[in-house]
Amino acid sequence: MAGRDRFDTDVLDTAGRTHVVVALGTNDLGHPGVIAPKSELPSPDELIRALDDVAGRARAAGLGIILATILPFLPGTGFDAAREEIRVAVNEWMRRRSGAPVIDFDAALRDESAPGQLAPAYDGGDHVHPSSEGLDRMADEAARVIALTV
């Protein structure tokens, strides 16, 4: 949850900001057991607490906050069914109980026939990072939500 730990310097210490889009979780789920100790794999509650903490700090600083769901990542290296369950739980919390506007990158880029995966047109090849088309789709979805929010 390095993003939570860097939030003050990356966001709060930046002059002129009025809003922040928070997109955290993919590396928190994919790195443990690959480039970090497996013991660092967060539970859904731990990721939710981290996102809630960041949202609270943003609001306390007078910033508008927008959360972004975690993209599908199966069968990417380091990802498995247990991590998919965490991703789904965290995304559902964002959509239903976070109290913040949500850019639903998951819904925008997932393969409807295999919701844990990026749609083929949006898969950059490693099943984790979006293709150019996927990035364009993300930009469109972000612009749509931000226009409704700010």
For residue range 73-104, what is the model confidence (pLDDT) as tens digits?
A: 999 998 999 999 999 999 999 999 988 999 99
Q: How confident is the model at residue 1 (pLDDT cuts 50, 70, 90)?
A: low
CA dihedral 69, 20, 147, 139 (to 10 degrees): -50
Which residues, at least 6 apart from 133, have a Cβ–Cβ distance to it below 8 Å? 121, 122
pLDDT at residue 70 is higher than 90: yes
pLDDT at residue 65 is higher than 70: yes
Domains of the chain: 18-149 (3.40.50.1110)
Q: How many helices and strands, by DSSP H and E, does the chain display?
A: 6, 5
pLDDT at residue 4 is higher than 80: no
Q: Residue 149 has what pLDDT?
A: 87
pLDDT > 70 in the chain, percent = 99
Identify which of 60, 57, 56, 63 has the alpha carbon closest to the alpha carbon of residue 18: 63
Determine which helix (DSSP H) or strand (DSSP E) holds 94, and give its type and residue range: helix 81-97
